[in-house]
Structures are given as C-alpha cells and as structure tokens.
Amino acid sequence: MVQPKAKAVHYKTIPAQEVGEEAPGSTISWLIDGPKDGAPVYALRMIEVAAGGHTPDHTHSHEHENFVVEGRGRVRLGDEWHAIEPGYVILVPPGIRHQYQNTGDTTLKFLCGVPVER
C-alpha cells in the first residue's frame, strides 16, 4: 500500500501569487494544492486582499467554502452584499456571481476551499 503524502507547514512559507489586473491588491497562496500535495479531491487556498482591494467579480461551475480569518469586508452573493469579519463562513454555490471587497484598513484574509476537479 502506498503511503499518502502529508504536509505540515506554516502558511507564510508558501509563496503568494498576484491574482491579476481584475483583482487589484489580491494575492492567492495554494496551501494545499490538490494532487500536487497528496489531496486528490480538495484544494485549500489563502486569499489576501489589501485595504481598498477586491477579488474578481465572477461566476464559475464549482463551489467555494470560505472562512474569514482576519480583516473586514463584504461579499457579493448574487445581487446581495453581506458584511463579513473574522469568524464568518461563506458558501458560494456553483454558478452564483460573487466578489470579495476589503472595506477595512487592514488586510482581509480568508481561507478558500475548492474541489480539485474544476
């Protein structure tokens, strides 16, 4: 039997990548990068949004599970905006328009889980 990979590292040791022009001030760190890290079903990311920044305003065919770690902001789910702060849990179903905006003066950080098959 093949032993699955295991991983235990501090998230700050994983390089953050700029999300792109459509998301000024936003970075993404692939904390658990699916099969690359031995996780065949699920990937986990840390999204960081600088004060005044936002993630892309978009939709796609897979769900997100999010947990706010630090900062304050708001999230668009369809046509509604919801205030968020540390401890908030957000489910973004497949096909729903969504976007995160940092409305605070510190970095907004949230964990984002997605299926590997997207």
The per-residue pLDDT for range 90-108, each reduced to its tens digit, is 999 999 999 999 999 999 9
Given a contact cutoff of 8 angstroms between Cβ atoms, the answer to whether 16 and 30 are in contact is: no
Query: Mean pLDDT score of the chain, rounded to an integer?
Result: 93
In a domain, 82, yes or no: yes
Q: In this predicted model, what pLDDT tens digit does every residue of 4-25 receive, in sequence order?
A: 678 899 999 999 999 999 999 9
CATH number at residue 34: 2.60.120.10
The total number of structural domains that make up the chain? 1
In a domain, 102, yes or no: yes
In a domain, 76, yes or no: yes
In a domain, 101, yes or no: yes
Global confidence as pTM: 0.91
In a domain, 46, yes or no: yes
Distance CA 64, CA 73 (A): 17
Mean local confidence (pLDDT), 64-89: 98
Task: Say yes or no to pLDDT of 118 above 80.
Answer: no
| Domain boundaries, position 44 | 16-108
In a domain, 113, yes or no: no
Mean local confidence (pLDDT), 53-72: 96
User: Which percentage of the chain shows pLDDT scores above 70?
Assistant: 96
In a domain, 29, yes or no: yes
In a domain, 87, yes or no: yes
List Cβ neighbours of 98 (8 Å cut-off, separation of 6 or more): 57, 58, 59, 64, 75, 76, 77, 78, 92
